[in-house]
Copies of this chain bind each other. A is one copy, B any other.
């Protein structure tokens, strides 16, 4: 075939329409199976993939989020009044905020020399030679001076150390817990932006900000008021507040945005859930505390008030998910659905050829055997009948 002829053929052939030849099997049983399987797959795609999973939407799962927290409330902790300045740390209102509920305070510590705690390894002594000068024990309080001195106003002796004196274990005053904090409130403001959809949402209704000061969150009656009582949070996290006061704990505040922007975006309001996240099961000793100090000077010497603070730490964790109709995923999923429906053919072909096709009528009709050998007569539908049985049904199991 010359090049020109080839091009001409190609050009003529290019505008031909090609469509597969189809065999129509007039068999009710097979037809019902075929349609049933199709229906099943169709139902799955329409109901689960399109209606439940919303596969026609493009989604956004990494929204930009900003959190601002603020606590309110005042209570007595021992003899002193605690306002937010005192019990909230850090004060800047980030997405992690902690409330002090109980304190062990060591007053008037200053750098000096005093007795090591008796529980520290090798700290108990009877004479100076028991204490190696310059040693710094990892679990101890400081550097040993090499002297063996009485343990404060007790009769036994321990090694002297250079440290903040007196040591916390001896001098700390454990204050009663601030049980009244159960009524403290935390205001959690959360603005969220879905950059793909250019939708900005907040968990506060714009016009209602003034009213927020006195409201309390309730999922049904007050979903737009992000003011939570600590007691409510503890209850939702299935923790006893009095227990939390004693040991402290970390509670996750999960803000869940699940938005469907095909509906009115004003219906996109978050849900809140609370869960203790530092908990290990069957473990009574899980605690959350941290130490900080307030410094002051007296007669030119630096003193500190060391505070071991037990409290609730709230970690605000924002999770967003939004979807909106988009042509591309719709097309892709429709194509996938259609392709999947093609599986019917494989199943039904297999049923037809193995179960129904007793007289090999169908396989003779479906398969045209053709041999490469040009000397053999060209096999057609008519001549084919004679060796239709050489065709293996099983090799058809793998689809083409």
Contacts and interface: CB of A to CB of B under 8 A. Distances in A.
Nearest to A299: B298
A258 B241 CA distance: 35
Interface in A306-337: 306, 313, 315, 317, 319, 328, 331-332, 335-336
Nearest to A84: B291
B390 A12 contact: yes
Contacts of A288: 68, 93
19 contacts: A10-B392, A12-B390, A12-B392, A13-B390, A19-B400, A21-B366, A23-B370, A27-B372, A64-B319, A66-B315, A74-B140, A81-B143, A83-B142, A90-B92, A92-B98, A94-B96, A331-B340, A341-B399, A341-B400
Interface residues of A, number: 162
A352 to B, nearest CB: 7
Given A13-B390, A74-B141, A295 B292 contact: no
A interface, over-half SS? mixed
Interface stretch (A29-37, A124-132, A231-239, A259-267): A29-37
Given A22-B367, A85-B306, A370-B26, A9 B80 contact: no
Interface string A52-77: 00000000011010101010111110
A183 B74 contact: no
A194 interface: no
B206 A9 contact: no
B317 A10 contact: no
Contacts of A297: 296-298, 303
A161 B21 CA distance: 94
Interface in A195-254: 195, 202, 204, 206-207, 209-210, 250, 252, 254
A108 B216 CA distance: 34
A191 interface: yes
Contact of A380 (B342, B358, B382): B382
A66 B275 CA distance: 11
